[in-house]
């Protein structure tokens, strides 16, 4: 595990040195998901429309990736 971490740290450092703009754009894209994550986790009293939206997105993603079999609505 230590060799693995050292290897990836080496790759990360040299990626930033050789392509700082590309790495910065990638980090910016990743960090845009952080507020969305915290809204989903800490926002306790969500409106029903938000619950419906997240449920439909979850179901769509599962069917797209063949994670679960499609089910009929009850």
d(CA 35, CA 51): 17
pLDDT at 56: 92
Instruction: Give the tens place of pLDDT for each residue, 59-68.
Output: 899 888 888 7
- Residue 74 pLDDT more than 70? no
Q: For all residues of the chain together, what is the average pLDDT?
A: 88
Crossing angle between the packed helical segments 20-31 and 2-18, to the nearest 10 degrees: 110
d(CA 15, CA 25): 12
Instruction: Give the tens place of pLDDT for each residue, 27-53.
Output: 999 999 999 888 888 888 889 998 899
Would you state the structure tokens that stand for residue 51, as one six-digit string? 């619950």
pLDDT at 70: 66
From 36, 33, 73, select the one nearest 56 (Cα to Cα).
Answer: 73
- Is pTM, for the whole model, over 0.75? no
């Amino acid at each position: 595990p230590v060799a693995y971490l050292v290897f990836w740290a080496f790759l990360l450092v040299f990626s930033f040195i050789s392509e700082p703009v590309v790495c910065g754009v990638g980090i910016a894209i990743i960090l845009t998901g952080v507020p969305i994550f915290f809204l989903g986790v800490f926002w306790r009293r969500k409106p029903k429309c938000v619950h419906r939206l997240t449920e439909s997105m979850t179901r769509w993603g599962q069917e797209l990736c063949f994670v679960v079999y499609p089910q009929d609505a009850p």
